Amino acid sequence: MNTVTKTLRSLSDLTDAELVHADKRAALEQVAARYAVAVTPAIAALVDQSDLDDPIARQFTPDAAELDRRPEESFDPIGDFTHSPVEGIVHRYPDRVLLKLTHICAVYCRFCFRREMIGPRAPALNAAALDAALGYIAARSDIWEVVLTGGDPLVLSPRRLKKIVSRLAEIAHLAVIRVHTRMPVADPARITPALVRALKAPGKATYVVLHANHPRELTPAARAACARLIDAGIPLLSQSVLLRGVNDDSATLGELMRTFVACRIKPYYLHHADLAPGTSHLRTTIAHGQELMRALRGRYSGLCQPTYVLDIPGGHGKSPIGPSYLAADGPGRYRATDFNGGDHCYPPPK
């Protein structure tokens, strides 16, 4: 087991911790120079050092394949900039906006769709920009929900978060504050009672969406961190990314969803990996994703079924892309497929 005691932020750190082979360090210098690196002690402890291509290492440690940029890949694969009316805001859907509070994360995922925009060198959202972003939300009564994202919003202090949440609470037409984070997995100790209190706003519903991709990420410490949020009345949902060599088999994916449910976290989204630069080695095909969703259906509880989605390149939003179980079979008639592959008429023949 790795006994790392600080966040690893350089190739030297990763090499010293034996999370990168020393003979590969030179080949990875360009990767680390271009894309941010951070591996927390909690994540480092999960890496199988006998196999540095294991499902945890593949998510967080640099790979020379990240320099292989494909023509279809994009600096802004889901169109954040296209739908950003003011700094810090992404307004893609009519009733909700993203509020990007920071560009910093506790850990940096090698498949991140914002990998070109985030990291310790990226500019922070300053006070004037935050005022303008909150003013944008306050001026539009059709905005029902705000999603706090980044970066990871939970890198901010409880005091800072409380001030932002309190200002959001003053917006009468806003009903829901949603927080997207990896922090309960990446650094469970940061989910303190003070942070939990900071996320709650009088008269508003707070939801937290946890990003985890492999069942090993839900350690006892991570489960306890999630429980602190849930026991305080904050519902948790999950989002995961379908990744080659991480969770692209039905047993692993099913165990991940069961682990979420056992932790009182409702599976929400399974994302098809976005067309971010240098991530083709981690993407599966949509056809394989659909096969995996078929494998989950009927074999795992309905509570364990996420929605498989594609964030359409160019900023056109998410579309469900799971397999279809229903086909037209004449006027008012259909063919329905059961989870065993059986074919049935609906309505049944008289």
Are the C-beta atoms of residues 282 and 58 closer than 8 Å to each other? yes
Residues 298, 255: contact at Cβ < 8 Å? no
State the catalytic residues. Answer: 92-93, 96, 105, 109, 112, 114, 274, 311, 318
77 within 8 A of 276, measured Cβ to Cβ: yes
- How far CA 65 is from CA of 28, 216, 243, in Å, comes to 9, 24, 15
Cα gap 208→206, rounded to integer Å = 7
- The total number of residues written for the chain in this structure: 350
Q: How many CB atoms are closer than 10 A to CB 347?
A: 8
Both tokens of 339, joined, read 């989870």
User: Three-class SS of residue 54?
Assistant: coil
Paired strand residues for 149: 100
Which tokens in the block code for residue 160?
């800072």
Beta carbons within 8 Å of 251's beta carbon, 6+ residues apart: none
